[in-house]
A and B are shown apart, each in its own frame.
Chain A
Amino acid sequence: MKLTDEMRNILKVGSGNSAVTYLTTSSSDGVCNVHLQPYTDVYQDEFIFAPDLFAQKTKININENRFAVLTVAHPPEGQMWAFRGPCNIIQWGHPPKFSFHGVVAGEVLDKWGDWGTLEPYDSVDDDIKPKSVGQRGVFVLKVEEVYSCKASESGSKIL
Protein backbone atom coordinates (compact mmCIF):
# COMPACT_ATOMS: atom_id res chain seq x y z
CA MET A 1 0.00 0.00 0.00
CA LYS A 2 1.42 3.36 -1.04
CA LEU A 3 0.94 6.41 1.13
CA THR A 4 -0.30 9.58 -0.53
CA ASP A 5 1.95 12.58 -1.14
CA GLU A 6 0.14 14.45 1.63
CA MET A 7 0.81 11.66 4.11
CA ARG A 8 4.43 11.31 3.09
CA ASN A 9 4.97 15.04 3.44
CA ILE A 10 3.80 14.94 7.03
CA LEU A 11 5.77 11.87 8.07
CA LYS A 12 8.97 12.15 6.05
CA VAL A 13 12.13 13.18 7.84
CA GLY A 14 13.26 16.67 6.96
CA SER A 15 9.84 17.67 5.61
CA GLY A 16 9.82 20.61 7.98
CA ASN A 17 6.41 19.65 9.27
CA SER A 18 7.66 17.97 12.47
CA ALA A 19 4.55 15.93 13.06
CA VAL A 20 4.23 14.53 16.55
CA THR A 21 2.71 11.07 16.46
CA TYR A 22 1.58 8.28 18.74
CA LEU A 23 2.36 4.62 18.21
CA THR A 24 -0.26 2.40 19.81
CA THR A 25 0.74 -1.19 20.52
CA SER A 26 -0.81 -3.92 22.61
CA SER A 27 0.39 -6.83 24.67
CA SER A 28 -0.71 -10.21 23.41
CA ASP A 29 -3.59 -10.17 25.91
CA GLY A 30 -4.84 -6.70 24.96
CA VAL A 31 -3.21 -4.15 27.28
CA CYS A 32 -2.50 -1.10 25.11
CA ASN A 33 0.36 1.33 25.24
CA VAL A 34 0.33 4.70 23.46
CA HIS A 35 3.89 5.83 22.82
CA LEU A 36 4.82 9.44 22.02
CA GLN A 37 6.94 9.55 18.87
CA PRO A 38 8.12 12.94 17.58
CA TYR A 39 10.38 11.54 14.84
CA THR A 40 9.25 9.58 11.77
CA ASP A 41 10.31 8.81 8.23
CA VAL A 42 8.78 7.02 5.26
CA TYR A 43 10.51 4.18 3.40
CA GLN A 44 9.51 2.87 -0.02
CA ASP A 45 6.24 4.80 0.32
CA GLU A 46 4.67 2.10 2.49
CA PHE A 47 6.74 1.75 5.64
CA ILE A 48 6.92 4.23 8.52
CA PHE A 49 10.15 4.29 10.49
CA ALA A 50 10.70 5.78 13.95
CA PRO A 51 13.65 5.62 16.33
CA ASP A 52 13.46 3.60 19.55
CA LEU A 53 14.39 6.09 22.24
CA PHE A 54 13.56 4.50 25.59
CA ALA A 55 10.29 3.00 24.33
CA GLN A 56 10.34 0.18 26.81
CA LYS A 57 6.74 -0.99 26.84
CA THR A 58 6.32 -0.53 23.12
CA LYS A 59 9.30 -2.79 22.60
CA ILE A 60 7.90 -5.44 24.94
CA ASN A 61 4.55 -5.29 23.16
CA ILE A 62 6.09 -5.52 19.70
CA ASN A 63 8.14 -8.52 20.78
CA GLU A 64 4.96 -10.42 21.63
CA ASN A 65 2.40 -8.88 19.27
CA ARG A 66 3.58 -7.43 15.99
CA PHE A 67 0.83 -4.94 15.22
CA ALA A 68 0.63 -1.19 15.74
CA VAL A 69 -1.36 1.92 14.87
CA LEU A 70 0.30 5.27 14.26
CA THR A 71 -1.83 8.42 14.66
CA VAL A 72 -0.90 12.07 14.18
CA ALA A 73 -1.29 14.24 17.27
CA HIS A 74 0.24 17.51 16.24
CA PRO A 75 -0.34 19.56 14.20
CA PRO A 76 -3.93 18.45 14.72
CA GLU A 77 -5.68 19.93 11.71
CA GLY A 78 -6.38 17.90 8.62
CA GLN A 79 -4.24 14.90 9.45
CA MET A 80 -6.74 12.68 11.17
CA TRP A 81 -5.24 9.47 9.87
CA ALA A 82 -4.48 6.16 11.54
CA PHE A 83 -1.87 3.93 9.90
CA ARG A 84 -2.19 0.31 10.95
CA GLY A 85 -0.27 -2.82 10.14
CA PRO A 86 2.48 -5.23 11.15
CA CYS A 87 5.21 -3.60 13.21
CA ASN A 88 8.61 -4.73 14.41
CA ILE A 89 11.77 -3.26 15.82
CA ILE A 90 15.08 -3.62 14.04
CA GLN A 91 17.81 -3.29 16.62
CA TRP A 92 21.53 -2.92 16.81
CA GLY A 93 22.80 -6.48 17.08
CA HIS A 94 20.38 -7.99 14.60
CA PRO A 95 22.11 -9.87 11.79
CA PRO A 96 22.48 -7.46 8.85
CA LYS A 97 20.37 -9.75 6.66
CA PHE A 98 17.53 -9.98 9.17
CA SER A 99 14.41 -8.99 7.25
CA PHE A 100 10.92 -7.85 8.17
CA HIS A 101 8.52 -7.72 5.24
CA GLY A 102 11.49 -7.16 2.95
CA VAL A 103 13.02 -4.40 5.08
CA VAL A 104 16.61 -5.46 5.70
CA ALA A 105 18.22 -4.71 9.07
CA GLY A 106 21.65 -3.76 7.75
CA GLU A 107 20.24 -1.16 5.36
CA VAL A 108 17.91 0.27 7.98
CA LEU A 109 20.56 0.59 10.66
CA ASP A 110 23.10 2.10 8.26
CA LYS A 111 20.80 4.98 7.45
CA TRP A 112 18.33 5.27 10.35
CA GLY A 113 20.29 3.66 13.19
CA ASP A 114 21.67 7.02 14.26
CA TRP A 115 18.62 9.21 13.76
CA GLY A 116 20.46 12.35 14.82
CA THR A 117 22.38 12.29 11.53
CA LEU A 118 19.06 12.66 9.66
CA GLU A 119 17.51 15.38 11.75
CA PRO A 120 18.68 17.07 14.92
CA TYR A 121 16.97 15.82 18.04
CA ASP A 122 16.47 19.42 19.10
CA SER A 123 14.21 19.99 16.07
CA VAL A 124 11.28 19.36 18.40
CA ASP A 125 9.95 21.48 21.24
CA ASP A 126 11.94 21.61 24.46
CA ASP A 127 9.14 19.85 26.35
CA ILE A 128 9.70 16.61 24.45
CA LYS A 129 13.29 16.99 23.31
CA PRO A 130 15.25 14.04 24.74
CA LYS A 131 17.75 15.20 27.33
CA SER A 132 19.99 12.32 26.40
CA VAL A 133 19.84 9.96 23.48
CA GLY A 134 20.44 6.23 23.40
CA GLN A 135 18.90 4.88 20.24
CA ARG A 136 18.44 1.12 20.43
CA GLY A 137 16.91 0.55 17.05
CA VAL A 138 14.23 1.52 14.57
CA PHE A 139 10.51 0.73 14.68
CA VAL A 140 9.23 -0.42 11.31
CA LEU A 141 5.49 -0.18 10.62
CA LYS A 142 4.28 -1.71 7.38
CA VAL A 143 1.15 0.24 6.52
CA GLU A 144 -1.57 -2.13 5.38
CA GLU A 145 -4.52 0.09 6.19
CA VAL A 146 -5.21 3.80 6.69
CA TYR A 147 -8.44 4.74 8.41
CA SER A 148 -9.92 8.08 9.38
CA CYS A 149 -9.77 9.47 12.93
CA LYS A 150 -12.21 12.28 12.17
CA ALA A 151 -14.94 12.19 14.77
CA SER A 152 -17.74 11.92 12.22
CA GLU A 153 -16.17 9.13 10.20
CA SER A 154 -13.89 7.33 12.65
CA GLY A 155 -12.79 4.01 11.25
CA SER A 156 -13.78 4.65 7.67
CA LYS A 157 -11.19 3.36 5.27
CA ILE A 158 -8.99 5.93 3.49
CA LEU A 159 -6.49 3.53 1.90
Chain B
Amino acid sequence: MAILSPRMKGWLERFGCHIGTANKSGFPTTIVVEQATTEGDSVVSFNLTDAQVNHIKDNIQTNPYVALAPHAIASIRAAYQFKGAATLDGNKLKVDVKEIYCTKPGPEAALRLDTLPPEHVIKFEESRWRDVGPPK
Protein backbone atom coordinates (compact mmCIF):
# COMPACT_ATOMS: atom_id res chain seq x y z
CA MET B 1 0.00 0.00 0.00
CA ALA B 2 1.27 3.46 -0.90
CA ILE B 3 0.95 6.40 1.47
CA LEU B 4 -0.15 9.72 0.01
CA SER B 5 1.62 12.72 1.52
CA PRO B 6 -0.40 15.72 2.76
CA ARG B 7 0.93 17.69 -0.22
CA MET B 8 -0.26 15.05 -2.70
CA LYS B 9 -3.70 14.89 -1.07
CA GLY B 10 -4.08 18.67 -1.21
CA TRP B 11 -3.39 18.92 -4.93
CA LEU B 12 -5.46 15.85 -5.83
CA GLU B 13 -8.49 17.08 -3.93
CA ARG B 14 -8.34 20.60 -5.29
CA PHE B 15 -7.74 19.88 -8.98
CA GLY B 16 -8.61 16.26 -9.68
CA CYS B 17 -6.88 14.10 -12.27
CA HIS B 18 -6.42 12.81 -15.74
CA ILE B 19 -7.31 9.14 -15.33
CA GLY B 20 -5.63 6.77 -17.76
CA THR B 21 -7.40 3.47 -18.39
CA ALA B 22 -6.95 0.77 -20.98
CA ASN B 23 -8.68 -2.37 -22.13
CA LYS B 24 -6.95 -5.72 -21.70
CA SER B 25 -5.14 -5.37 -24.97
CA GLY B 26 -3.80 -1.93 -24.10
CA PHE B 27 -6.05 0.43 -26.05
CA PRO B 28 -5.98 3.59 -23.90
CA THR B 29 -8.78 5.94 -22.85
CA THR B 30 -8.23 9.01 -20.67
CA ILE B 31 -10.88 10.96 -18.82
CA VAL B 32 -10.50 14.19 -16.85
CA VAL B 33 -12.18 14.63 -13.47
CA GLU B 34 -11.71 18.06 -11.92
CA GLN B 35 -12.14 17.21 -8.26
CA ALA B 36 -11.35 14.32 -5.95
CA THR B 37 -11.47 13.30 -2.34
CA THR B 38 -8.96 11.20 -0.46
CA GLU B 39 -9.71 8.58 2.16
CA GLY B 40 -7.17 7.21 4.59
CA ASP B 41 -3.58 6.82 3.45
CA SER B 42 -4.05 5.60 -0.09
CA VAL B 43 -7.54 5.94 -1.56
CA VAL B 44 -8.54 8.61 -4.07
CA SER B 45 -12.24 8.88 -4.96
CA PHE B 46 -13.94 10.59 -7.86
CA ASN B 47 -17.61 11.33 -8.52
CA LEU B 48 -18.06 10.64 -12.21
CA THR B 49 -20.80 11.86 -14.49
CA ASP B 50 -22.88 9.31 -16.36
CA ALA B 51 -20.91 10.12 -19.50
CA GLN B 52 -17.62 9.41 -17.74
CA VAL B 53 -18.94 6.15 -16.31
CA ASN B 54 -20.08 5.00 -19.73
CA HIS B 55 -16.75 6.03 -21.21
CA ILE B 56 -14.54 3.87 -18.97
CA LYS B 57 -16.74 1.23 -17.32
CA ASP B 58 -15.78 -1.55 -19.73
CA ASN B 59 -12.11 -0.84 -19.19
CA ILE B 60 -12.47 -0.79 -15.40
CA GLN B 61 -14.41 -4.05 -15.41
CA THR B 62 -11.84 -5.90 -17.49
CA ASN B 63 -8.68 -4.08 -16.41
CA PRO B 64 -9.02 -2.11 -13.16
CA TYR B 65 -5.43 -0.93 -12.89
CA VAL B 66 -5.35 2.81 -13.73
CA ALA B 67 -2.94 5.74 -13.71
CA LEU B 68 -3.68 9.20 -12.31
CA ALA B 69 -1.96 12.52 -13.01
CA PRO B 70 -3.00 15.83 -11.43
CA HIS B 71 -5.05 18.23 -13.57
CA ALA B 72 -4.76 21.95 -14.37
CA ILE B 73 -2.09 23.97 -12.54
CA ALA B 74 -1.40 20.89 -10.44
CA SER B 75 0.20 19.34 -13.53
CA ILE B 76 2.92 21.95 -13.10
CA ARG B 77 3.08 22.40 -9.36
CA ALA B 78 2.47 18.79 -8.33
CA ALA B 79 4.20 16.58 -10.88
CA TYR B 80 3.25 13.19 -9.54
CA GLN B 81 1.80 10.07 -11.08
CA PHE B 82 -0.23 7.55 -9.12
CA LYS B 83 -1.13 4.01 -10.16
CA GLY B 84 -3.55 1.68 -8.48
CA ALA B 85 -6.56 -0.59 -8.51
CA ALA B 86 -9.88 1.03 -9.32
CA THR B 87 -13.39 0.00 -8.41
CA LEU B 88 -16.51 1.53 -9.87
CA ASP B 89 -19.64 1.57 -7.70
CA GLY B 90 -22.40 3.50 -9.42
CA ASN B 91 -20.85 6.86 -10.24
CA LYS B 92 -18.10 6.63 -7.63
CA LEU B 93 -14.66 5.59 -8.81
CA LYS B 94 -12.27 4.62 -6.03
CA VAL B 95 -8.58 4.11 -6.69
CA ASP B 96 -6.43 2.37 -4.11
CA VAL B 97 -3.01 3.79 -4.93
CA LYS B 98 -0.20 1.22 -5.09
CA GLU B 99 2.56 3.19 -6.82
CA ILE B 100 3.62 6.85 -6.67
CA TYR B 101 6.12 8.49 -9.01
CA CYS B 102 7.73 11.89 -9.38
CA THR B 103 7.17 13.11 -12.94
CA LYS B 104 9.23 16.30 -13.07
CA PRO B 105 10.85 16.24 -16.52
CA GLY B 106 14.53 15.48 -16.14
CA PRO B 107 16.63 12.91 -14.37
CA GLU B 108 14.10 12.39 -11.58
CA ALA B 109 11.25 11.59 -13.94
CA ALA B 110 9.80 8.21 -12.93
CA LEU B 111 11.51 8.27 -9.54
CA ARG B 112 9.39 5.98 -7.38
CA LEU B 113 8.26 7.62 -4.15
CA ASP B 114 6.02 5.04 -2.48
CA THR B 115 9.00 2.80 -1.74
CA LEU B 116 10.53 5.55 0.43
CA PRO B 117 9.58 6.00 4.09
CA PRO B 118 6.90 8.71 4.42
CA GLU B 119 9.29 11.06 6.22
CA HIS B 120 11.73 10.78 3.31
CA VAL B 121 8.96 11.64 0.86
CA ILE B 122 8.17 14.79 2.83
CA LYS B 123 11.86 15.77 2.85
CA PHE B 124 12.00 15.14 -0.89
CA GLU B 125 8.99 17.38 -1.44
CA GLU B 126 10.45 20.13 0.73
CA SER B 127 13.66 20.04 -1.27
CA ARG B 128 12.03 20.01 -4.71
CA TRP B 129 9.06 22.36 -4.38
CA ARG B 130 8.79 25.78 -2.82
CA ASP B 131 5.20 25.21 -1.72
CA VAL B 132 4.63 22.25 0.52
CA GLY B 133 1.35 23.40 2.05
CA PRO B 134 -2.13 23.12 0.56
CA PRO B 135 -2.58 24.63 -2.92
CA LYS B 136 -3.69 28.25 -2.92
Interfacial residues, chain A to chain B (CB-CB below 8 A): 20, 22, 24-36, 38, 53-57, 61, 65, 67-69, 71, 73-76, 80, 82, 84, 124-125, 127-133, 149, 151-156
- B33: A residues at CB distance < 8 A: 151
Q: How far is the CA of A36 from the CA of B30 in the complex (A)?
A: 14
Ranked nearest first, the 6 interchain pairs of A and B with the lowest CB-CB distance are A32-B20, A155-B55, A73-B75, A26-B22, A76-B72, A24-B20
Interface band, chain B: 35 or more
B81 (CB) vs chain A CBs: closest residue = A34
Q: How far is the CB of B73 from chain A (nearest CB, A)?
A: 6
**B28 A31 Cβ-Cβ under 8 A:** no
Name B77's contact: one of A75, A127, A130 (CB within 8 Å): A127
A38-B105, A54-B106 given; A26·B49 CB < 8 A: no
Is the contact region of chain B dominated by helix, strand, or loop, or is it mixed? Answer: mixed
Q: How far is the CA of A35 from the CA of B110 in the complex (A)?
A: 9
**B27 A67 Cβ-Cβ under 8 A:** yes
B54 within 8 A of A: yes
Interfacial residues, chain B to chain A (CB-CB below 8 A): 18, 20-34, 48-49, 51-52, 54-55, 63, 65-73, 75-77, 79, 81, 83, 103-107, 109-110, 129
**B69 A27 Cβ-Cβ under 8 A:** no
**A152 B32 Cβ-Cβ under 8 A:** no
**B71 A153 Cβ-Cβ under 8 A:** no
**A73 B69 Cβ-Cβ under 8 A:** yes
**B69 A22 Cβ-Cβ under 8 A:** yes
**B103 A67 Cβ-Cβ under 8 A:** no
- B81: A residues at CB distance < 8 A: 33-34, 36
- A73: B residues at CB distance < 8 A: 18, 69-72, 75
A153 (CB) vs chain B CBs: closest residue = B51
12 A-B pairs with CB atoms under 8 Å apart are A25-B28, A29-B26, A30-B65, A73-B18, A73-B70, A84-B29, A125-B76, A128-B79, A128-B105, A151-B52, A154-B55, A155-B31
Q: How far is the CB of B27 from chain A (nearest CB, A)?
A: 6
